Chains A and B, each alone.
Chain A
């Protein structure tokens, strides 16, 4: 009896810590970049190898406290590094945001489709609502991100 409770608790902890991260192609990810809810959607393109991305991750993570903001982290880690680098990184840093792994080699198509002004450099962030859309090929500080978010109304 004790053990089954203990096991259930362990399982619960495991579910909390290890979020599953789907690997998706661009067609599958595109709907997530075009949502019509009453929220400010913040989509950050990052990778574990990208130092400026890692530096700004906490600012995006802290947005999860806001009810009017929904954060999505799109990892561009190499597919061969999903198990060895991405999942351990997410686990270790206990990332709370929703995370998907974009695995689609047709970069020349989807970079432009996400935003024609994106050159392809990381980090990059897409912020949108029903009516507004902004793309930022840059690194954020907490205050810069805060300033930009004030331009958006959910």
Chain B
């Protein structure tokens, strides 16, 4: 019985970790931004791809990256890879994560990118996001939006001046020059996604 439970719990655990792998097609979504307007990947006719970042208002790691996310959007939106930030936390499970809080944060930090709420929390599990911040780079191909990178923004969450590896920039630069990213998955410490 015990071993059965153990196997069962490992299966459940594996199931928790299900999400996209490199090469998978990412689902489209339609989620509200801070002004309540619905935003969807299909709104972006001109884009070559997307930098999807699951992030939130309260996680210190997310906060540490806000300026760098603005900088990524400034650099790569003109090249066809806009940032789309999605807050995956259930506002009922964590204070400071409601749409009004998101609006305030976006205005205080001058977000140049859409900041969406994963209302109903249906999208982050499909992607397999487990923490904030968690990046998924999608490349638009004929068959759909292909996942080409999953992981961290760079190798120095805690101080921007100590970055040695610019994971997201390197991955997009590769895609823009017709190559696959050399490093396509990375890990970093982050905050768990809050659910009830």
User: Does residue A87 face the partner (Cβ distance < 8 Å to B)?
Assistant: no
Asked if A106 contacts B130 (CB within 8 A), the reply is no
Interface SS, B side:
loop
**Contact A121/B131 with A50-B191, A108-B186, A108-B187 known, Cβ cut-off 8 Å:** yes
Per-residue interface assignment for chain A, residues 97 to 128, with 1 indicating a CB less than 8 Å from any chain B CB and 0 otherwise: 00000000111100110000111111100000
Q: Which of A47, A117, A139 contacts B17 (CB 8 A)?
A: A117
Per-residue interface assignment for chain B, residues 59 to 72, with 1 indicating a CB less than 8 Å from any chain A CB and 0 otherwise: 11000000000000
| B interface size (C-beta, 8 A) | 27
**Contact A108/B152 with A52-B192, A121-B192 known, Cβ cut-off 8 Å:** yes
User: Does residue A49 face the partner (Cβ distance < 8 Å to B)?
Assistant: yes
User: Does residue A42 face the partner (Cβ distance < 8 Å to B)?
Assistant: no
Q: Which of A49, A52, A107, A122 contacts B152 (CB 8 A)?
A: A107
Q: What band does the interface of chain A fall in when counting residues whose beta carbon is under 8 Å from B? A: 20 to 34
**Contact A107/B17 with A121-B130, A121-B131, A151-B6 known, Cβ cut-off 8 Å:** no
**Contact A105/B162 with A117-B17, A137-B130 known, Cβ cut-off 8 Å:** yes
**Contact A79/B158 with A119-B131, A151-B2 known, Cβ cut-off 8 Å:** yes
Q: Which of A112, A139, A151 contacts B187 (CB 8 A)?
A: A112
Using CB atoms, name the residue of chain A closest to B156: A105
User: Does residue B155 face the partner (Cβ distance < 8 Å to A)?
Assistant: yes
Asked if A120 contacts B187 (CB within 8 A), the reply is yes
User: Does residue B123 face the partner (Cβ distance < 8 Å to A)?
Assistant: no
**What B residues does A117 contact at CB under 8 A?**
13, 17
**What B residues does A119 contact at CB under 8 A?**
17, 130-131, 134, 187
Per-residue interface assignment for chain A, residues 71 to 115, with 1 indicating a CB less than 8 Å from any chain B CB and 0 otherwise: 000001011100000000000000000000000011110011000
User: Does residue A51 face the partner (Cβ distance < 8 Å to B)?
Assistant: yes
Q: Nearest Cβ in chain A — how far from B82, in angstroms? A: 25
Asked if A121 contacts B193 (CB within 8 A), the reply is yes
User: Does residue B175 face the partner (Cβ distance < 8 Å to A)?
Assistant: no
Q: How far is the CA of A117 from the CA of B2 in the complex (A)?
A: 22
Asked if A78 contacts B190 (CB within 8 A), the reply is no
**What A residues does B157 contact at CB under 8 A?**
105, 107
Q: Nearest Cβ in chain A — how far from B149, in angstroms? A: 13
Asked if B158 contacts A122 (CB within 8 A), the reply is no
**Interface contacts beyond A80-B158, A112-B187, A121-B189: sample of 5 additional A-B pairs, CB < 8 Å, sorted by A:** A107-B155, A108-B151, A108-B187, A119-B131, A121-B190
What would be 28 A-B contacts, judged by CB atoms less than 8 Å apart?
A: A50-B192, A52-B192, A78-B158, A105-B155, A105-B162, A107-B155, A107-B157, A107-B187, A108-B151, A111-B188, A111-B189, A117-B13, A117-B17, A119-B17, A119-B131, A119-B187, A120-B130, A120-B152, A120-B188, A121-B130, A121-B131, A121-B191, A121-B192, A122-B189, A122-B191, A122-B192, A123-B192, A151-B6
Interface residues of A (CB under 8 A from B): 47, 49-52, 76, 78-80, 105-108, 111-112, 117-123, 137, 139, 150-151
